[in-house]
């Protein structure tokens, strides 16, 4: 068993809304604390598979998602235990602090505030003060009062225009009784590059190490790091020696390159902990999956940006087809599209995919699909039997043109409304538009 008292204290970096600069604060803080000799355990609140790779680059430790909607107490406890050996935990929130869904999931509604409450981590609220001064204090005060039992460490003022602006904003916070932990001047050169699913992947950043170093210097110059460290707390009531998700096979050929990289870190950690051997390969380099693999897994990613290269990757496709004759192949979102018959890019050009499923998808007819998914399997998929109830998340812009194969599952959104992206199955091949987060845990 794990002694919860032995786990490190933590903080959760959040904001009133998206786009306020919390990722810059998060990465700068991770690296600044790391540079001070601390072992920092990063986390991401909510369903995000891009930010954790940035966290790892900044801290040197794997970052894990904590999701009160999609995860039950067992998985949350197992992920809490990953902080063993660290000196401090720093979590990054998603969207606004209190934003979640309307219908409860396994442990809650998916908000960053719930993560902070579960873990006992005080919130550091990043407040964008551009276009206001003392009035920003009313925003901060509202967030503190909305849930009075939620612990707050204080605020970091962001996008401060001048020393006078900072003085006025601090004055407002002082009158409201809100602690100011730092004030960051407006810096347009510190923004991370983005594309349609959010940030570009960490591996694609043109000079990520230089960017993170700059963020750390920026935080050290304008934020009271000692005050932040002193404010860290933790309850860790969920910590226990519970297992992470088990492996779906003993030898797993995992596609990993710029087209296929969206895997939740806790899944990979669970596979390795269960003794699975992960065999990476690159479809973009026209590599076939290892012929000795028991399972081929194609994660999500950006196949639409590389559709021409994938269509020309004959060695990859032939190896995939050979494997599927006798052993399972599974694809999530972008991987699912790559298993289909064709992918139509935004210019309207159709590119041949593996053809293991009849799925045809289009980026010419873009439609935004975003949200949690409840899943009841109608057929087995790797790691889960018929009838299993799964929790996942869907995030893409593709439109289904054809989906002729048998549905893999009944899929609904967080509120229970059916969605048409049911996944597909044919022979040994399965695919889904949702990214698997966890299996439904039995109620306690």
- Residues marked active site are found at 333
Which residue do the tokens 């018959």 mark?
A: 341
Distance CA 101, CA 47 (A): 12
∠ CA 153-155-161, rounded to 5°: 160
Q: Count of CB atoms within 10 A of residue 104's CB?
A: 13
Where residue 131 falls (left for φ over 0; alpha for ψ -120 to 50; beta otherwise) is: left
Burial class (CB in 10 A: 0-12, 13-18, 19+), 204: middle
Distance CA 30, CA 28 (A): 6
- What's the gap between Cα 378 and its chain centre? 27
Longest CA pairwise span in the chain (Å)? 70
Three-class SS state of 91: strand
Q: Please say whether the dihedral angle defined by the alpha carbons of residues 150, 156, 160 and 162, taken in this order, is positive or negative.
A: positive
Distance CA 308, CA 302 (A): 12
Which residue do the tokens 């004055």 mark?
A: 171
Structure token pair of residue 348: 């309207």
Given a contact cutoff of 8 angstroms between Cβ atoms, the answer to whether 313 and 279 are in contact is no
Q: Count of CB atoms within 10 A of residue 171's CB?
A: 13
Q: Count of CB atoms within 10 A of residue 82's CB?
A: 21
Given a contact cutoff of 8 angstroms between Cβ atoms, the answer to whether 332 and 432 are in contact is yes
DSSP label at residue 215: H
Which residue do the tokens 């998914």 mark?
A: 373
Residue of 282, 225, 272, 221 whose CA lies nearest to 246:
272
Distance CA 119, CA 133 (A): 32
Q: Do the strands 342-344 and 350-352 form a parallel or antiparallel pair, or are they unpaired?
A: antiparallel
- Contact partners, residue 3, CB within 8 Å, separation at least 6: none
Three-class SS state of 155: strand
Q: What is the number of alpha carbons within 13 Å of residue 99 lying toward its C-beta?
A: 14
């Amino acid at each position: 068993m794990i002694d919860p008292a032995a786990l490190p204290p933590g903080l959760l970096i959040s904001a009133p809304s998206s786009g306020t600069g919390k990722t810059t604060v998060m990465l700068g803080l991770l690296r600044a604390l790391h540079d001070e000799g601390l072992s920092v355990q990063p986390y991401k609140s909510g369903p995000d598979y891009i930010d954790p790779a940035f966290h790892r680059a900044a801290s040197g430790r794997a970052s894990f998602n904590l999701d009160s909607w999609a995860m039950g107490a067992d998985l949350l406890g197992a992920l809490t235990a990953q902080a063993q050996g660290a000196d401090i935990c720093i979590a990054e929130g998603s969207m606004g602090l209190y934003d979640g869904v309307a219908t409860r999931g396994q442990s809650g509604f998916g908000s960053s505030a719930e993560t902070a409450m579960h873990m006992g981590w005080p919130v550091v609220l990043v407040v964008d003060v551009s276009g206001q001064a003392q009035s920003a204090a009313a925003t901060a005060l509202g967030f503190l009062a909305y849930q009075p039992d939620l612990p707050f460490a204080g605020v970091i003022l962001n996008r401060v225009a001048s020393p006078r602006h900072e003085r006025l904003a601090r004055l407002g916070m002082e009158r409201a009784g809100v602690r100011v932990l730092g004030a960051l001047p407006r810096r347009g050169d510190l923004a991370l590059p983005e594309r349609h699913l959010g940030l570009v992947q960490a591996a694609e950043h043109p000079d990520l190490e230089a960017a993170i170093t700059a963020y750390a210097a920026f935080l050290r110059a304008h934020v009271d790091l000692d005050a932040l460290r002193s404010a860290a707390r933790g309850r860790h009531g969920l910590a226990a020696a519970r297992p992470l998700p088990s492996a779906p096979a003993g030898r797993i050929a995992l596609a990993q390159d710029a087209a296929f990289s969206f895997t939740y870190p806790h899944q990979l950690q669970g596979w390795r902990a269960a003794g699975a051997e992960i065999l990476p390969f690159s479809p973009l380099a026209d590599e076939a999956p290892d012929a000795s693999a028991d399972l081929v897994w194609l994660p999500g990613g950006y196949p639409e940006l590389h559709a021409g290269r994938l269509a020309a990757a004959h060695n990859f496709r032939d190896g995939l087809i050979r494997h599927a004759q006798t052993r399972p192949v599974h694809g999530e979102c972008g991987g699912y599209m790559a298993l289909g018959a064709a992918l139509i890019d935004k210019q309207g050009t159709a590119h041949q995919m593996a053809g293991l499923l009849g799925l045809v998808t289009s980026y010419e007819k873009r439609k935004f699909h975003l949200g949690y998914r409840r899943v009841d399997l109608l057929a087995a998929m790797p790691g889960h039997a018929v009838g299993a109830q799964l929790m996942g998340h869907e995030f893409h812009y593709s439109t289904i043109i054809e989906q002729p194969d048998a549905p893999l599952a009944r899929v609904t959104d967080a509120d229970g409304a059916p969605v048409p992206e049911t996944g597909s199955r044919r022979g040994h091949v399965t695919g889904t538009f949702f990214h698997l987060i966890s299996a439904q845990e039995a109620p306690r």
